[in-house]
Amino acid sequence: MGTRKVLRIGHPALRKCAAKVPDEWFGSERLDRLIDDLFDTKLACCGAGLAAPQIDEPWRIFVIGMSHNPRYPHAEPLPECVLINPVIKSIGNDLTVGWEGCLSVPGLRGEVERWQHIHLKWRDREGAFHTEELKDFHARVVQHEKDHLDGVLFPDRLTSPVAFGFTDELQASGRIP
């Protein structure tokens, strides 16, 4: 267990497509250690989510979870969960706009459009399959983290190049809470 270094935008590992976790890894100590490192690092950095490529591990795994978070004071709490080999499909065509941040893009926020309502399928650390329907902030976090598995960072998806800036500047001008 331990806290790992979070890579920042510009590091090439953040731009690679991660590989599926192979069947023989489920239930292994190797996978457990990686998942524990993701949770520990997310907690230490006050993130809502963290994907394996952000700690230089090229696998399709991410963790989410948040109680009260000073980075997102108005967001609803998220239950802690590890998602392995996730697959996302939109339910309907509704899109929603919201401001996002990222531990790999420190100090900055940008406005991004996401599906409002999604169907999610994933495997847990023992390899069991799960499905769930998610909406709003929870769906946004999952789409953001899943993007990391495909080498995509939120500044790639800005609604406008102008809808981007340092968190404190955006707060000072009242554009984000």
Query: Mind telling me the catalytic residues?
Result: 145
CB of 104 to Ni ion, least distance (A): 5
Q: Is 102 in the site for Ni ion (CB under 5 A)?
A: yes
Which residue number, 31 or 149, has a Cβ lying nearer to Ni ion? 149
Which residue number, 52 or 102, has a Cβ lying nearer to Ni ion? 102
Do 65 and 45 meet the contact criterion of CB atoms below 8 Å apart? Answer: no
Give one word for 107, left, alpha or beta, with left for phi > 0 and alpha for psi -120 to 50.
left
CB of 29 to Ni ion, least distance (A): 27
> Which residue is closest to Ni ion by CB?
102
- Choices 5-13, 17-25, 68-76, 102-110; region in contact with Ni ion by CB under 5 A: 102-110
Q: Is 141 in the site for Ni ion (CB under 5 A)?
A: no
- Choices 87-95, 100-108, 122-130, 167-175; region in contact with Ni ion by CB under 5 A: 100-108
Which residue number, 78 or 102, has a Cβ lying nearer to Ni ion? 102
Report the candidate in 119, 168, 124 with the shortest Cα–Cα distance to residue 139: 119
How would you class 6 by CB atoms within 10 Å of its CB: exposed for 0-12, middle for 13-18, buried for 19 or more?
A: buried
Do 59 and 16 meet the contact criterion of CB atoms below 8 Å apart? Answer: no
* Number of residues engaging Ni ion in binding (CB under 5 A): 1
Alpha carbon distance 57, 101 (integer Å) = 21
Do 13 and 28 meet the contact criterion of CB atoms below 8 Å apart? Answer: no
Residues in touch with Ni ion (CB under 5 A): 102
